[in-house]
Structure 1
């Protein structure tokens, strides 16, 4: 397992209709480092966004898709997505406030 710092774990937020609807229930979706585990994701969210307490973390891996350009066959990069559920008394994440 790689030595990942907390600021390297979260890559970017995922903005879709479903993830925007889940924000009403304090669920936030992020693209995360592919080798990060749930405890590292929990720690990263609590350190990067002050006043947040994580109740639950769900993760899902997606393989890269096959792509072909002329005679060369390859794959796109694999990704990992995390859905973070905050506790009821936790502060909301300000990154998503203006969306």
Structure 2
């Protein structure tokens, strides 16, 4: 996988209450990923960018909600999230203040 694709696969970390619970409990990190990203691409991108060992990747396609507005119906964008399980001893700290 070329270096350009590595930066396009991962869009950013998904920070939420559920993501923090999963991180503590199952050694997993949640990322927002590109809609066309595959599991092997996500695994390689995380390993290259953060220098960690990845055990497994689970992908979730989340459909956008339909919302009612004054001008009719609107729809939020669909998103794709990846739950990445890290190997023992590996850790990614997004909020790390040194």
TM norm structure 1: 0.80
* Structure-1 separation of matches of 2:18 and 2:63: 21
1:41 Cα deviation after fit: 0.7
1:54 Cα deviation after fit: 0.5
Q: Which 4+ residue blocks in structure 1 deviate beyond 6 angstroms?
A: none
- Give the gaps of 5 or more residues in structure 1: none
TM norm structure 2: 0.80
- Give the gaps of 5 or more residues in structure 2: none
Matching of residue 86 in structure 1 with residue 86 in structure 2: yes
* Structure-2 separation of matches of 1:44 and 1:19: 19
* Structure-2 separation of matches of 1:47 and 1:27: 17
Aligned residues: 93
Q: Find the counterpart in structure 1 of residue 49 from structure 2.
A: 48
* Structure-2 separation of matches of 1:62 and 1:8: 19
